[in-house]
């Protein structure tokens, strides 16, 4: 079973937060690939379906952990243990402040880089899962990071957020085939990132860009 987990916080209060872009992405995947209905399992909202690849269909589980971000690892590790899924078949979609808004990068392994959701997963499963890093930019001041990720996207962000999530879903056959480099390239072809400096575009009011 391929596990595609989006990170976020549960409830309408957080629905459009930058921290919840992972939830938005797996919602789009569920719609694009017509996965089964969402249900509750593994302390998460989950749904199952198939992604068509050149080598045939790949069975996949979409996950939105309902544990809050800091405990995401408990939910994802429970699903991986149940399905006996190896780490190279676990993909985590998450917000990434070190990438400009709309940028996208795949990565396997590494540290948490201050991301509490990743820290929780690493603590439960080790670091060698696949990460789909969805750029949300940086507020320009480390003291404003928490407010940044727990704030809603600005209205002007809507088009690129939707386009990026749609691209991640449309290119999913490459992801399911473990072609991460090709997947990254295709996502960025389908969703070119906005031409803006993440430390200057859409800053939280009062934040000061750093050099």
Residues designated as active site: 19
Residue where the block lists tokens 């575009």:
201
By C-alpha distance, which of 62, 56, 60 is closest to 8? 62
Helix, strand or coil for residue 40? Answer: strand
Whole-angstrom distance, CA of residue 40 vs CA of residue 149: 26
Annotate 180-202 with b (16+ C-beta within 10 A) or e (fewer). beebbebbbebbebbeeebbebb
Q: How many residues are given for the chain?
A: 211
């Amino acid at each position: 079973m391929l596990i595609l987990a989006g990170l976020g916080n549960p409830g309408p209060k957080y629905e459009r937060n930058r921290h919840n872009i992972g939830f938005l992405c797996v919602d789009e995947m569920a719609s694009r690939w017509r996965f089964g209905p969402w249900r509750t399992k593994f302390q998460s909202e989950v749904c199952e379906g198939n992604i068509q690849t050149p080598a045939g269909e790949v069975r996949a589980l979409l996950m939105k952990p309902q544990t809050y971000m800091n405990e995401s690892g408990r939910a994802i590790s429970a699903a991986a243990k149940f399905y006996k899924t190896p780490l190279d078949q676990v993909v985590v979609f998450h917000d990434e402040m070190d990438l400009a808004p709309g940028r996208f990068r795949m990565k396997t392994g590494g540290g948490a880089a201050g991301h509490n959701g990743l820290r929780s997963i690493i603590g439960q499963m080790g670091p060698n899962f696949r990460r789909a890093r969805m750029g949300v930019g940086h507020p320009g001041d480390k003291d404003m990071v928490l407010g940044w990720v727990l704030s809603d996207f600005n209205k002007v962000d809507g088009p690129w957020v939707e386009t990026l999530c749609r691209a991640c879903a449309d290119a999913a056959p490459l992801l399911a085939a473990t072609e991460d480099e090709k997947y990254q390239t295709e996502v960025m072809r389908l969703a070119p990132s906005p031409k803006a400096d993440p430390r200057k575009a859409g800053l939280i009011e009062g934040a000061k860009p750093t050099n």
